[in-house]
Structure 1
Amino acid sequence: MRNAKNFPLVFVLLALASTLASAYDPSPLQDFCVGINNITDGVFVNGKFCKNPKFVKADDFFFSGLNKAGNTSNAVGFAVTPVFEDQLPGLNTLGISIVRLDYAPKGGLNPPHTHPRGTEVLTVLEGTLLVGFVSSDQDGNRLFIKVLYKGDVFVFPIGLIHFQLNIGDTPAVAIAGLSSQNPGVITIANSLFGSKPDISPDVLTKAFMLDKKVIQYLQSKF
């Protein structure tokens, strides 16, 4: 009988645990929470202070610049223009963000990476992209790959490694929405071969089954 009395409490606790485990960015409990860095007259919420609502203006919810191409003159031929909370303070606590992605012709690459806090939905505005993501070890590391053309949409699930490659002869442009105001990015090559301090070459040699000199060469590049 004692266990039966405790059953409702256990059920509530399990339900709460399930809800917390499935939450990403916190749901707002007010109309908006425009992020500010100055603590004067501010309230701290999820890493940012909120501007006093009395002083909020339309410009706090506005960003201009996604019409401008990013500079793809770099080793991978790729540029990202982010519109996160830092660029658009009105996004604070709303759980969304957006980026512009520019790819150089014939091989511009957004290298394999993950977003630990957000799912990404990508729309091609110009050009032709080869895109894909890899499922987790639990799902057998399956590769899901697709060629996208102007107007096509593709989604990359939260936390999974994904990439985009321009396979066309002209520059490519895409817009991506993400399900976090700060989705984060972990670029796989940078993280493994460019960490500070370096990961021990012995670890990477065994993990990638390569000669240690190859690993050391890759680390020198990053």
Structure 2
Amino acid sequence: MKAVRFLVAFILLVLASKLASATDPSPLQDFCVAINDAKNGVFVNGKLCKDPKLATPQDFFFSGLNVPGNTSNQLGSVVTPAIVPGLNTLGISLVRIDYAPYRGLNPPHTHPRATEILVVVEGTLYVGFVTSNPDNRLFTKVLYPGDVFVFPVGMIHFQFNMGRTNAVAFAALSSQDPGVITIANAVFGSESAINPDVLAQAFQLDKKIVDQLQSRFWSDSNYGV
């Protein structure tokens, strides 16, 4: 009986450690302002940081999220991140997303390291995410100014401007480095192309269509939040 209790306790401990490591680690200090100058930096919590005694209010400030982004691209959307050195090690990030009328799309993508919460401040967005196998359930909603939607960590999700005016949203993510995998770009636009025979069979497409798709997709880190 004691052996069984010990085994159960051990399993729970392992599960707890796995869950704890699933998000950014907690900081071991008040803040860790990111710095590139190794000469004047100090290692804190495994990060190269500015000496806390030299930190200023400017290290925790960013201006510009009120400025509309340029959506004159193939997707009609643009992501503007809030670049704040003081966010380093705090496990959060923030972006503004602009969408052109009728066509602005933040294409299907995932964040392997973060849950995202999106709030619409202007326009109308059709948003959604798809759950993992085997169900692949689609959760969608039409959002208006003031509405909020959550995209769970790792789920494929998207946003589309279905209105006749510009749309603007702000998104917060539960990691300072959430990562972005834009599905179409990753599959059809990888740096070393995936064998077309693989994609043709996986997507049940003619190989000529796969060749065409691989020639059209591009890589741009400004998409997918």
Assess same fold via TM > 0.5: yes
* Equivalent-residue separation in structure 2 for 1:146 and 1:159 (angstroms): 19
**Off by >6 Å, runs of 4+ in structure 1:** none
Separation in 2, partners of 1:5, 1:174: 54
Letter in 1 for 2:154: G
Q: Cα RMSD between the aligned structures?
A: 1.7
2:130 equivalent to 1:134: yes
Aligned residues with identical type, % of pairs: 61
Report the CA distance shift for 1:31/1:13 in structure 2 as closer, same or farther (over 3 A): farther
Question: Structure 2 residue aligned with 1:17, among 14, 17, 29?
Answer: 14
> Displacement of 1:107 after TM fit?
1.3
Residues 11/38 of structure 1: CA separation in 2 closer, same or farther (3 Å cut): farther
Letter in 1 for 2:61: F
Which residue in the other structure is 2:75 paired with? 76
**2:38 paired residue number:** 39
**1:183-210 deviations in Å (ceiling 9; x for gaps):** 1111000000100110010110010000
Which letter maps to 1:183? Answer: P
For 2:35 and 2:13, locate their aligned partners in 1 and report how far apart those are by CA, in whole Å.
31
- Counterpart amino acid of residue 29 in structure 1: L
Q: TM-score, normalised by structure 1?
A: 0.91
Instruction: Judge conservation of contact 2:92–2:173 (CA < 8 Å) in 1.
Output: yes
Secondary structure, counterpart of 2:18 in structure 1: helix
Q: CA, structure 1 residues 137+54, in 2 after alignment: closer, same or farther (shift >3 Å)? A: same
Q: Which stretches in structure 2 are left out of the alignment for 5+ residues?
A: 218-225
TM-superposed CA distance for 1:172, in Å, is 0.1
| Equivalence for 1:62 | 61
* 1:122 and 2:118 correspond: yes
Deviation, structure 1 residue 101: 0.4
Match of 2:94 in 1: 98
Per-residue displacement from partner, 1:20-74 (whole Å, max 9, x unpaired)? 311310011111111112222320545x412111111111111111001111000
- One-letter identity of the residue aligned with 1:168: G
Matches within 5 A, 1:183-198: 183-198=178-193
Give TM-score, length-normalised by structure 2: 0.90
User: What is the Cα deviation at residue 13 of structure 1?
Assistant: 4.6
